[in-house]
Chain A
Amino acid sequence: MRWSLERWVVTAAAAIFALVTLAPLLWMLSVSFMAPGEAAAFPPPLIPTDPTLANYRELFVTYGIGKYFGNSLLLATLATLLALLFTVPAGYAFAKLRFKGRDGIFQVLVGALVIPGQIGMLPLFLMLKGMGLVNSYAGALVPWLAGIFGIFLVRQYCLSIPDEMLEAARVDGASEGRIFRSIVLPMLTPILVTLALFVFLGSWNDFMWPLIILADQDLYTLPVALAALSREHVQDNELMMAGSVVTTLPVLILFLALQRFYMSGLLAGSVKG
């Protein structure tokens, strides 16, 4: 491509826009390497004069953030596995298996997508309290089992599977379960990656439900622990930036590595209306 004047102007504008957008994240990273108190100066320093890992050391040694990291990792992994287990077979069935009431049920599910989950939060809390699941990971995982969006995403993808292929397997005497495992699942790999990524990021970033359901500090996920820590350490700018890096860097890296899957799922999901 030629570098005409217009190209220069447009590209420079995009670069400035991107720099302003990324500035908070870059600043977070930079301040996390500053000595305690260094960022509280005017004009605000952009680069640490003497980069240090002291804040990270304090986070892991004094505040045990490694434990919260482990909790978040465990919870997000379990949420992902459970969500796939519950929603993928259902999404396939709504696309490819004929049964009574199929289209009606699916219409209702799509309609229910507009209902925000917070509506039922208080009764759900009481229900789980009755079941003895408050203050447990089982309670924290429950909303991920009811993933209507996942069913929708998988169904849209399954519609493109040719019926003849499934019929041929049926004629050969394969059971529906066998067909799903050996023929359908391998074809679904891209959408499985997309869905897994959505659920993992969603669970990792989730705040309100873990805040409500997990009372025991030892069970806290990273966002809940970070919010609590930031209320106690309002002045400790550099420490909190390191905590934010630990919380957000894993999901940023995961997104960057798998962004192709993320973007395609996002577009498939947005045309649901």
Chain B
Amino acid sequence: MYNIDAVEIPSDSKNASSGTSANNAEVFASNEDLKAVAKRLRRHIVTMIGKAGSGHPGGSLSAVEIVTTLYWKVMRHKPADPHWADRDRFILSKGHAAPMLYAVLAECGYFPVSELTTLRQIDSRLQGHTDRTATPGVEMSSGSLGQGLSFSIGMALAGRLDSQGYRVYVLLGDGECDEGQVWEGAMAAAHYKLDNLTAIVDNNGLQIDGWNRDVMSLDPLGKKWEAFGWHVIEVDGHDFNQLLDAFEKAKTVKGQPTMIIAHTIKGKGVSFMENVAGFHGKAPNKDELEIALKELE
């Protein structure tokens, strides 16, 4: 017999603390320079993966500006209350970029930064791919690609049913768009006119076996999403101003979901990882880590 009570299930009940003005003060806010934050996140990412000896640096580094913009400027969230009912939700559909999300959550204060170096170790809260039951602030267990958009649709539908004002953000990989379920979700989100849902594709152009265009062509990616009924915005995924503008614009789009195609560089910020498919799922060795950290000073 299994014991369901032994499984820690995050509670999202509406009885949780609500968004009254009194506790709005606890909503995460920072005036810190985003470039400085991004650099710190990148240092965490390469350090924790280097320490773990395995992990996915390429797709973690490419998404840093996207998540920095979201967590530091766009989303309403409370690190001290991860289950706050009115929080904006962030779903990491490309679950192999877990180190990137862990770095973000630690820097925001969901758990201590010192915990980052436990990544992938036995009994760590920081699993190799995200685990909703293990880590404060992680909304979905991912790692099997293609499911996050659908999961986000469920959250967006629930928010609308309950007239809650929260927004749902979901980050997909471009290679992930090979999965048929992504397009099932694309169709459904437009069908339900989910304007409280914003998806972002981390369009770094590479997947494990090589360039997207050689493995399985995605082009024209933007036109595909448009044809599925989405409002599509294309941005330089490393440009904070463009990202911020796109997220603000998405909030004003009515009657359809918004897709932000963020053109990024896989391995961004570490010269020998940039645009190298081999660093999709390979940790830097000791020497490489040293060089990487030097470049990220």
Asked whether A and B interact, the reply is no
B: residues with CB less than 8 A from A are: none
A residues near B, CB below 8 A? Answer: none
